[in-house]
Amino acid sequence: MLSVFRNRVYRHLFGAQIVALTGTGLATVALGLLAYDLAGDQAGLVLGTALTIKMVAYVVIAPLAAAFAQQADRRKMLIALDLLRAAVAIGLPFVTEVWQVYVLIFLLQSASAGFTPAFQATIPDVLTDESDYTKALSLSRLAMDMESLLSPMLAAILLMVVSFESLFWGTSLGFFASALLVISVVLPSPKPVERRGIYDRTTRGILLYLRTQRLRGLLALNWNAAALSSMVIVNTVVIIRADLGLGDRDVAIALAGFGGGSMLAAFALPSLLTRFMDRSVMLTGALIGTMAMAVSAVLSATIPLSLTLLTFLWACVGFGYSATLTPSGRLLTRSAIPEDRPALFAAQFTLSHACWLVLYPLAGWLMTANGATSALAWMTVASVMGLIFAFLLWPSESGEAAAHLRADDP
């Protein structure tokens, strides 16, 4: 897997991803503490609103950013967005009102909504060999999982010697370092073959996405993965603290189970994808995650869940989640010519986060209204729906065709 680091451009881009993710992880911890500092007992409401703003920014801004990216130098765009994120992070320690948090979060996440798809679309242009690109996808998943595991630990260590406001400076430093790493390399930036209007460029990626059979199946798998991860992310703290009566450390352990399962899948995927078709691996992953969630619902209704059992089940969910989503970049790369890739990656970014925009609040409402067993059961039903539609929308006989389409193709 590490052989891809021989490529200098990819090595620098991966370094940029690592430092930016580290900064984002520090901001996640600091934002929670800032919300409590400003709102006290209403901190949960502030964070919930900030999360909603984040998802709205992702859904709305990503296709608009992709439209401009088709006409822009990709390297300059990535650098500018990194610097914007760094500037916004510097501003967060100085806010005194909750509304200011919301404005800065919208700016920060809007910049991320432009940066992430453009960054993802650049990797297959740098690593043109599919085997190398598959390794890069697994490394990207590992980086994200490590961020969720290690950033809170780093934040805890830093908070022993600095105030939480200082974490935002670490976030800004991470984005600035990311910009420097992008500056240090020359990136391929495919140019469109013809100029198009802003409306056409804005809708281009979503049209291409929805007209491609394998990607309609991918959208259903995004729904499946969002249902599974929403239950874990939103409700683990409630299950551990309220239902089991355990502490913050045990919440971290359960979430580490999900991250550990995801990392295990990321290590296994390069080998699996050389032997099995993407469709088979992704649908199997969705099935594993859905079955683990279903088992959690059944056990919750019959016997008291323990920390050990929940951590194991969450690890199975994490394995299925990673196996489902990690290969998606391969599908997107196969489904468009190079100049259309930023628009297609932006469409994936928008549509996948639209799923979370629906399922995050649904998971929280079900837990609050009816308890863990009901929430687990209904989120299992939601994930099953995604799995069924994926089977129907992505037939095996055409699932691996490698045609490169355009949004205006018949």
In tens, the pLDDT along 326-382 reads: 888 888 888 877 777 777 887 888 888 889 888 888 888 888 888 889 999 999 999
In degrees and rounded to multiples of 5, residue 405 shows phi and psi of -105, 165
Contact 49, 102 (CB under 8 A): yes
355 contacts: CB under 8 Å, gap ≥ 6: 222, 223, 225, 226, 227
Calculate the alpha carbon distances from 18 to 9, 11, 24, 110, 145 in Å. 14, 11, 10, 20, 11
pLDDT for residue 328 = 86
Instruction: Please state the separation of Cα 49 from the chain's center in Å.
Output: 19
Query: Domains along the chain?
Result: 1-186 (1.20.1250.20), 208-395 (1.20.1250.20)
Position 215 scores a pLDDT of 92
Q: Which two tokens stand for residue 372?
A: 């863990």
pLDDT attached to residue 407: 44
Residue 154 token pair: 């780093």
Token pair for 204: 């281009």
Kindly give the parts of the chain with pLDDT less than 70.
Answer: 1-2, 28-29, 32-33, 36, 40-48, 66-67, 69-71, 141, 144-156, 189-202, 248, 397-410
Instruction: Give the pLDDT of residue 404.
Output: 47
381, two tokens: 């039903």
pLDDT of residue 295: 96
Q: How far apart are CA 244 and CA 293, in angstroms?
A: 18
Closest by Cα among 188, 220, 142 to 394: 220
Q: What is the chain's percent helix, strand, coil content, to nearest 5?
A: 85, 0, 15
Q: Of the candidates 124, 105, 117, 131, which has an alpha carbon nearest to the alpha carbon of residue 52?
A: 105
Measured CA to CA, the distance from residue 205 to residue 207 in angstroms comes to 5
Query: pLDDT digit string (tens) for 19-37?
Result: 887 887 777 667 766 776 7
Neighbours of 119 (CB within 10 A): 25
Q: Please report the pLDDT score of residue 383 as a whole number.
A: 97
Choose among 260, 181, 128: nearest CA to 20. 181
pLDDT for 197 equals 57
Give bridge partners of residue 336 from the DSSP assignment: 405
**Which is nearest to 92 in space by CA: 17, 37, 14?**
37
The pLDDT score that the predictor gives to residue 400 is 46
| SS3 letters across 186-246 | CCCCCCCCCCCCHHHHHHHHHHHHHCCHHHHHHHHHHHHHHHHHHHHHHHHHHHHHHHCCC
**Tokens, residue 379:** 């989120």
Neighbours of 218 (CB within 10 A): 28
**CA-CA distance, 372 to 379, in Å (whole number)?**
10
User: pTM for the whole thing?
Assistant: 0.77
Alpha helix positions (H), 127-164: 130-158
- Give 405's strand partners: 336
